[in-house]
Amino acid sequence: MAGHTHHLDAEAGNRRVFWAIAINTLLSVVQIVGGLVSGSLALIADAIHNLSDAMALVLAFLARKVAQRPADDTMTFGYGRAEVVAALINYTTLILLAFFLTYEAARRIFDPTEVEGWSVVIIAVFALLVDSATALLTYTLSKDSMNIRAAFLHNLADALGSVAVIVAGTVIILYDWRLIDPLITMLIAGYIFWQSASEVGRTIRILMLGSPPELDTRSVLASMRGVAGVEGVHHLHLWQMQEHEPALDAHVVIEEGMWGEADQVKGAVKNVLRHEFGLTHITLELECHVHACEAPRDVGHVAGAE
């Protein structure tokens, strides 16, 4: 599970990511210039989203390179969480951008400006083509890498944003309804906020050593306690070492008279955890019936307790 990012052809993958970044950056520059010339805030909003996606892709790519470094004396768990930190930075930035765009759109509603509809439509069509090309560049990589898959989904979202901008420009051309521009901007900002807010919780959960959301802690405890030879399980910790590597450590009490088979019991518990819950990083401390912890907690432990 932990090595999923290493299945990619690094050189070919790097070339695709480079071109995806280059195309997104070029598109953002064209959109910003076009937005300033035409007076379209919606076009500038979409440009900022595209630019933030390009920067997010750069950050995610660099973080992935750092994450591939092996564990050392300083970082004994390795550098895998560099990707999680990068994700938190990206989502936080997007949330702030969403608030900024909402503020600017609200200001435009009360103080509207002229918008050249044809310029908006032409540049947005160009943006739609570039977004589609970028999505194609990252589609294959997205199958094996969650980071790249997120960037791929962002490109699809950008394509939808470009469609929205095209609609706004068309409405201005046909009906001269200027209010559509800040309204479309609010829709884009709302989507950015919703997308980012729905993901940022997971990154914080990993950094806070929370249990993987797809695993039920009580079910894990019940399965461990159901193994033959196990009298009890306590001081359980369930967390994610990095995005795709759930980990567990716990104290396992061996039934009276079964200490001679403690290693077999431990192996059976690990097999259950691997097959039922997909856990691979497992640390178990075995306790005999006589010397088990007194009044232990099922989950976690009291500071200073053994």
- pLDDT tens, 200-248? 888 899 999 999 999 999 999 999 999 999 999 999 999 998 877 899 9
In a domain, 293, yes or no: no
pLDDT at 11 over 80: no
**Shared-domain flag, residues 47 and 164:** yes
Domain count, the chain: 2
Contact 240, 280 (CB under 8 A): no
Distance (Å, rounded) from C-alpha 252 to C-alpha 289?
10
Question: What is the token pair recorded at 93?
Answer: 């930035």
pLDDT in tens, 52-110: 677 777 877 787 778 888 889 999 988 888 888 887 887 788 788 788 878 888 887 77
Q: Which residue, 159, 185, 207, sits at the end of a domain? A: 207
Spell out the residues 6+ positions from residue 78 whose beta carbon is closer than 8 angstroms to its own: 67, 69, 70, 71, 241, 242
- Work out whether strand 230-242 and strand 281-287 pair parallel, antiparallel, or are unpaired: unpaired
Question: What is the token pair recorded at 7?
Answer: 């299945």
**Shared-domain flag, residues 144 and 233:** no
In a domain, 189, yes or no: yes
C-alpha distances in Å from residue 23, one per residue of 3, 26, 256:
29, 5, 67
Q: pTM for the complete prediction?
A: 0.75
Residues recorded for the chain: 306
